[in-house]
Amino acid sequence: MSDLPQVAEILAKSRRVAVLTGAGVSAESGIPTFRGLGGLWNGRDPMSLATPEAFASDPATVWEFYRWRRDLVSQAEPNPGHRALAELARHRSPNFTLITQNVDRLHQRAGNRDVLELHGNLFDVRCTQCSRTFDRTGVALPPLPQCVDCGALLRPAVVWFGESLPQDVWGTAELAVEQADTMLVIGTSAVVYPAAGLVMTAAAAGCTVIEINLEPTPMSHFVDFALFGKAGEILPRLLAADMNPSE
Ligand code: BV8
Ligand code: ZN
């Protein structure tokens, strides 16, 4: 945390900021991360729950997993880290882009608009036949939800392993990190691609990259500064410094 004043100074001087978040930014809202203590993938095989093949072979089990996560997130609240990022976006708009790997929509509930969701979200569902997408926020889903238009099985509108990311979202995210002069990489283990590759794209484009995490990650080699600690504690301090650069 010692670098915080220096990082705050860099942030205050930056013109275009890009942010990439992962599950760690929602941990203080009580949402389990994927890897590490209490992680979603502990005792579960992601390949049996988060791939199109898993869904095709056992849709009821996959839906049970995702309905459980939807309920968990619906009862959670954005934490000070989410709220600081929403404030930072208001303070720096339009030169601020928030890119997330998270599917919990807590950034939006904290007030961020135009969030680039690389991996979709838990509240939209998509028809496996006619591909229509429906927003089912707040709606309890049956074990095997069906499309109102064609009757086919609906799936969670998330990006599973082996599936490509939404091209328009991905293209916008790549451009944002290429044009940013500062990038915050927050609460991600940086093992999932192509999302993790955005850090290297930013570094290669000469962007100053700042990692905020409890511990080093495989991306730590590519970053200029690392702030170790909880996102919910560090981000409000960075925001305060951004709002009052003189202090
Ligand atoms: C694709 C949505 C191809 C669903 C998710 C070998 C090498 C490289 C790549 C691959 C490979 N084999 C396969 C691949 C490709 C694969 C991949 O990257 N696999 C990895 C695991 C090796 N990628 C894909 O399949 C992608 N698609 O490549 O398609 C293609 C191309 C063209 C055409 C067709 C196909 C799709 C990847 C998306 C998968 N979907 N999620 C769901 O959520 O259920 S991934 C899942 O992992 C989530 O999205 C999550 O966000 C993401 C990354 O996890 P993190 O967010 O980083 O969370 P994690 O728990 O890991 O880490 C939390 C961090 O927070 C930790 O560092 C912790 O220290 C920190 N932390 C904790 N608390 C706090 C904190 N930090 C701060 N404060 C705190 N309080
Ligand atoms: Zn349909």
Per-residue pLDDT of the chain (247 residues; tens, 9 = 90+): 568 999 999 999 999 999 999 999 999 999 999 998 889 999 899 999 999 999 999 999 999 999 999 999 999 999 999 999 999 999 999 999 999 999 999 999 999 999 999 999 999 999 999 999 999 999 999 999 999 999 999 999 999 999 999 999 999 999 999 999 999 999 999 999 999 999 999 999 999 999 999 999 999 999 999 999 999 999 999 998 888 876 5
**Residue 190 Cα to ligand 1 middle (Å):** 7
Residue 228 pLDDT: 97
Residue 2 pLDDT: 66
What angle is formed at CA 71 by the lines to CA 102 and CA 20, rounded to 5 degrees?
10
**Rounded to whole angstroms, how far apart are CA atoms 81 and 232?**
4
Encoded amino acid at 246, one letter:
S
Residue recorded with tokens 């569902």: 125
Residue 246 pLDDT: 67
CATH of range 35-75+126-158; options 3.30.1600.10, 3.40.50.300, 3.40.1800.10, 3.30.420.40? 3.30.1600.10
Classify domain 4-31+78-119+165-243 by CATH architecture: 3-Layer(aba) Sandwich (3.40)
Residue 242 pLDDT: 81
Count Cβ atoms within 10 A of the Cβ of residue 221 and give its class: 0-12 exposed, 13-18 middle, 19 or more buried: exposed
Annotated catalytic residue, options 82, 91, 107, 119? 119
Residue nearest to atom 69 of ligand 1 (CA): 214
The pTM of the full predicted model, rounded to 2 decimals, is 0.96
The answer to whether 119 is a known catalytic residue is yes
Phi and psi at 177, nearest 5°, equal -75, -30
Residue 244 pLDDT: 82
Which protein residues are within 6 Å of ligand 1, measured from CB?
A: 22-24, 27-28, 33-36, 39, 50, 101-103, 119, 158-164, 187-189, 191-193, 212-215, 217, 230-231
**Greatest C-alpha distance within the chain:** 60
Phi and psi at 133, nearest 5°, equal -110, 140
Q: Is the peptide bond prior to 32 cis by the omega test (within 30 degrees of 0)?
A: no
Closest CA to 39 of 51, 55, 50, 53: 50
Closest CA to 83 of 238, 215, 209, 211: 238
Residue 190 pLDDT: 97
Give the start-to-end residue ranges of the domains of the chain.
4-31+78-119+165-243, 35-75+126-158
CB 215 within 8 A of CB 22: no
